[in-house]
A and B are shown apart, each in its own frame.
Chain A
């Protein structure tokens, strides 16, 4: 814990204030752009955003649901941020989550004879291995074949989606599932304990928060520092004798393991079975969450919460106000562009 104390002691508070202000401004502008589209199409933005807020925070149950969604967002954002800090533009979190979900489910079914105390950790490890396998492909291709990771990870996302569809329609399909594309349920003894009765909020949320602390420590370690150097400049990294290729592969492995863990959390904490739509849109959201959080673990806690509210609220908004959920994607895309261009857009505000 002393490392955390140290890492909070050196915080540049005015800098943090400016970051929060800039992030708030970017999000406000993104919401404004969304409101303009609603106005333009004859919808009432106030009503839409009110139903969004109610959907995300209206009742304790809704708030708990926001935390449920926040869990994979935060884990995936941490996964993405580690790649990004090393200059690896991995947008494959979605595919890694999916493969992690498949392998963790497979482990639960294959080693069902083990006692839950052993089996549950084993499934988590299996999920991490699955995510690593998937991200490792892109990492090796990047390191040894110079293959652009944005393209390979996006292709691997599509392949993972079809792999999951194949699994739940083929080898892992529930034989008593009335022909639905889904697997059988995991045994109840493997379901992650709930944190709040009557909600889906579970231990995976605490795992995500634990991961935040581990990541804070990680960036203070030698390995983390090496990765940051590789991210800052490949040339400098080579010059000081770092093995850039090995670092890129290591980063891919770590990112993939974390994303795979998110898949495990979704299966054992939320769905209890494999379904086709476990990860839709999560990959791109993870990128937004990581960027708004400025790739800082604590920043990402805040942004994961904000975007989870946006998604949970956005779903409620679609149901109650009839506003398409795609509005949330428009807001997210706008926010990324505003955040990227903000040093240009807000250049007069520096004082």
Chain B
């Protein structure tokens, strides 16, 4: 173990990586906050992220335009969000099992389509990811500059979306409807607001964000697609949402804790610490469980959480 590497530049490297690794979780978690606030538990995020990753890859690969990849990832995410909406709102199915179903479907479909398009290759197809875009002036600040202001555009977008999500959730009429639908759907329904439509809209946001989160993995981070590449990040995003108490600002903190665990895991491996790589790889998942239990006991879930809404007449 080389202790000389534990210098400022090492710490800065880990912190900068933690922001990048937090981004896909943050994007998906921000969307899931709207979904859960509206009273739906979408456990299909893992599958939606995988479909977003695949669509992002295909869109960018075929058009040589990364933004079309981003758009494709979000649109596919919306489609799968609508599928979750059909299952949970229209068909009133058990949301937990529907989420598991969407995760299996998304995992299988993304792998199948990738294989059908590219076949079996020894060298996987790659694409160039979004370039790093240092923000003038700010990126020159010592420590903070390289940690916060030397990322690609999708990372900035995710960070900007945190206050945006807060404003939409707490300061707009739509946000009020979303929160009300999750707390007391009956009351909202008697005011002439459609519970179903509001929940569908929340799932469109959630789907688009999970699709974007998946697309980020390919377009903003790895430049490749592989089977099950999300590796549990969808479930981690759901854990982050519980940790956040359904608040975008706290979601940033939760996602960052995960990002830090992942970044530490990776840099400890490169440092050749005398711990097996497989043990280090467990770290983010262990942290997620610890984070989840640290808040779940006192968490106040939305009242209508995971309960399908039946109008008085068809009860």
Contact = CB atoms under 8 A, between A and B. Distances in A.
Interface string B73-85: 0000000000100
Contact of A324 (B47, B111, B289): B111
A159 B104 CA distance: 19
A195 interface: no
A284 B112 contact: no
A343 B107 CA distance: 26
A329 B111 contact: yes
A162 B279 contact: yes
Interface of B: prevailing SS = helix
Nearest to B83: A337
Interface string A307-351: 000000000000000001011111111101100110111000000
Given A146-B297, A148-B296, A340 B115 contact: no
Interface size of A as a range: 35 or more
Contacts of B286: 155, 159
A151 B286 CA distance: 11
A340 B94 contact: yes
A287 B238 contact: no
A165 interface: yes
A287 B301 CA distance: 26
A201 to B, nearest CB: 27
A282 to B, nearest CB: 12
A171 to B, nearest CB: 9
A150 B103 CA distance: 12
A288 B104 contact: yes
Contacts of B98: 336-337, 340
Contact of B115 (A89, A150, A324, A333): A324
Nearest to B46: A154
A147 interface: yes
Interface string B228-269: 000110011011001000000000000000000000000000
A330 B232 contact: no
Interface of B: 43, 46-47, 83, 86-87, 90-94, 96-109, 111-113, 115-117, 227, 231-232, 235-236, 238-239, 242, 276, 278-279, 281-282, 285-286, 288-289, 292-293, 296-297, 299
In the A-B complex, the 4 residue pairs with the smallest Cβ-Cβ separation, listed nearest first, are: A329-B108, A333-B105, A336-B101, A326-B111
5 contacts: A146-B296, A156-B289, A329-B112, A341-B93, A344-B91
